[in-house]
Each structure stands twice: as structure tokens, then as C-alpha cells.
Amino acid sequence: MPHAAPCGFLVLDKPAGLSSHACVSKVRRAYGLKRVGHGGTLDPAVTGVLPIALGQATRLLPYLSGDKAYRGVVRLGLRTSSDDLEGERLAEQPVPELDDAALERALAGFRGAILQRPPQVSAVHVAGERAYARSRRGEALELPARPVTIQRLTLLGWDPAAAELELEVHCSAGTYIRSLARDLGQALGCGGALARLRRIAALGFGLQQAVSLDALPQPLLDPLAALGHLPHQQLLSDQWDGWRCGRAFAATRELPPAGPVAVLGPDGNLVGMARAVAGGLLQPKLVFDAAG
């Protein structure tokens, strides 16, 4: 029951200067596949982990962990239209004398569950249009704050001469590091903007798995590599035909109610996703090799 076409994940170490869409186009050409998608857009200036799904694995993207991690540098003493150094400079202010203790006090206010206002230049939809499109036409937008969670926020270094601090951030999906730079600068009373950013983890993948665009094609990562955070259930041989027809089947162990479950075929390969339902059953939700 192997898949007819490649099915798996590729983790790119995205270079600066390329959009995520351009990276997907290069992967399509390298593997001769149309069905390719990425998990989590990176701005062109940002480098690092860009997970790419190929073939049927594109259907697994909604099941992956949304948490991400970054290392970035914040420049204090200025505000810009985009909350990074790519935007127009709006104001510059002197940076107060800061030590690690003062920076730690400021960072403490951004740990845990917070409300965050996205940057003006962002992909958030406003009245059916991306915020960045309206911003580039000169519109001033008041984007509402949204709940995000910053699980870890670590000060890696502080350079007073350059007015730059280096941070490591582990956060939920939807967190903007540019907004964090802006808000941290505001909390310190001098303004701030993101100077550099590198994503070190996303969707359960890390830099240790990443390859460069120049090294393509590479062997794909097994789809199961991205689903370690979910329970697994292996089909018995006599359940295979029913699975392919979308019939519910009995779970062999207790599973979280209504939660997603990765389903393995009798040979141990991933064959789709199911959902735990009443009566100790698993209902197929995504079947790779469906009958008919």
C-alpha cells in the first residue's frame, strides 16, 4: 500500500531575499511535483526553518504543532512603519542606560499569554484584503490586538554600543516577532524595531533537519516525523479494506476524546488521520489510499 507519488516533508533553511512562495516554486521544480505547500510564511528578509510538505503530506499541515521558535536581534532607539529595519523610519530616540536586570524586567511583561497587535505590514486580513496591501497604499490601520502565547523569552546578549539585544523566543502560532520588538522598545521608552531574525523551529521541525535550496533534491522526511505529538494507531490486516472505505474501527487503547490520531497501515507506514469518537471507535478523517 505504498503511495504512488512522493509523500513527505522537506525542511528548508530559507535564505534571505527569497519569499516563501519562491521557495515552494523551486521545490516543485526540483521534485517535479505540483502538490507542494509550506507551513508558516517567512518574510523575505527572515532566514531559517521553512517546512515544506510534498504530495499527500500537504493534507497533514493542519495537524502539525503550530508552535515556533526564533532567534532575533532587536534594535532599540527607533520606530519604523513595518516594525523592522525594512520600513520607513518614523522616529528616533536616545536609548537609556540599560543593564541585564533592566532588560529582564521589561522582558518579564511579555512572557506567557499576552495580547499582541500585528504589524501594519502583515498578512492579516482587513475587510477581505491583506493589511500589507492597504498599508502600502498609505492607509493607517488600527489592527486589533490578538491573544498569543510566548512560552519562552530568553535574553541572549546586549550590546549597548549598537543598542541591540539578542533574544530567543518560543511562541504560539500567530506571534509576530516584529510586534514584540516594537512593544519591547515601547516598554523601555525608546522605541524598537527588529533588525535580524532566524527561525530555528517550526511545526515540530528544527534547524538540525534543514537543508539548503542548493542541495535539492534530498530524501524526504517520513510524514510520521511531524506527528510525534499525536497518538498513533496501527491497523490490523482485516481492518485495511474498511479503512479505505471510510468505516470506523475499534481503537486498541484509550485515546483522548475527539482528538486527532495518526493511523498506520499494517506495514507501519502512515495511511491517514482519524478522530476518536464515542464507543472506543476511530472515525477516518483523512485517508491517503481511499477506495473508489
Higher pLDDT among residues 136 and 280, named by residue? 280
43 flagged as catalytic: yes
Cβ-proximal residues to 58 (8 Å cutoff; 6+ apart), any chain: 35, 36, 37
196 with 99, same domain: the answer is yes
17 with 80, same domain: the answer is no
Asked if the model's pLDDT at residue 126 lies above 80, the reply is no
CATH code of residue 129:
3.30.2350.10
CATH code of residue 249:
2.30.130.10
Neighbours of 76 (CB within 10 A): 26
Given 43, 83, 84, 183, which residue is catalytic? 43
Average pLDDT, the chain: 90
90 with 159, same domain: the answer is yes
Q: Flag whether 3 is in a domain.
A: no
Helices 177-187, 100-108: crossing angle, 10 deg rounding? 120
Asked if the model's pLDDT at residue 143 lies above 80, the reply is no
Q: Flag whether 280 is in a domain.
A: yes
Q: What is the pLDDT of residue 228?
A: 87
| Element holding 184 (H helix, E strand) | helix 177-187
- Residue 130: pLDDT band by 50, 70, 90 thresholds? very low
| Element holding 105 (H helix, E strand) | helix 100-108
198 with 209, same domain: the answer is no
Task: Please choose, from the candidates 46, 52, 51, 41, the residue with its C-alpha nearest in 3D space to the C-alpha of residue 15.
Answer: 46
220 with 149, same domain: the answer is no
Q: Flag whether 242 is in a domain.
A: yes
Asked if the model's pLDDT at residue 137 lies above 90, the reply is no
Domain limits for position 275: 232-287
Share of the chain above pLDDT 70, in %: 90
Tell me what the mean pLDDT of segment 280-284 comes to. 93
Is 216 in contact with 28 (CB distance < 8 Å)? no
Q: What is the pLDDT of residue 255?
A: 82
- Residue 1: pLDDT band by 50, 70, 90 thresholds? very low
86 with 119, same domain: the answer is yes
Q: Flag whether 72 is in a domain.
A: yes
Q: What digits encode the pLDDT tens for the residues 41-97?
A: 898 999 999 999 999 999 999 999 889 999 999 999 999 999 999 999 999 999 999
As for how many domains the chain has, the answer is: 3
Is 203 in contact with 226 (CB distance < 8 Å)? yes
106 with 182, same domain: the answer is yes
User: Can you tell me the distance from the alpha carbon of 189 to that of 125, in angstroms, rounded to the nearest whole number?
Assistant: 30
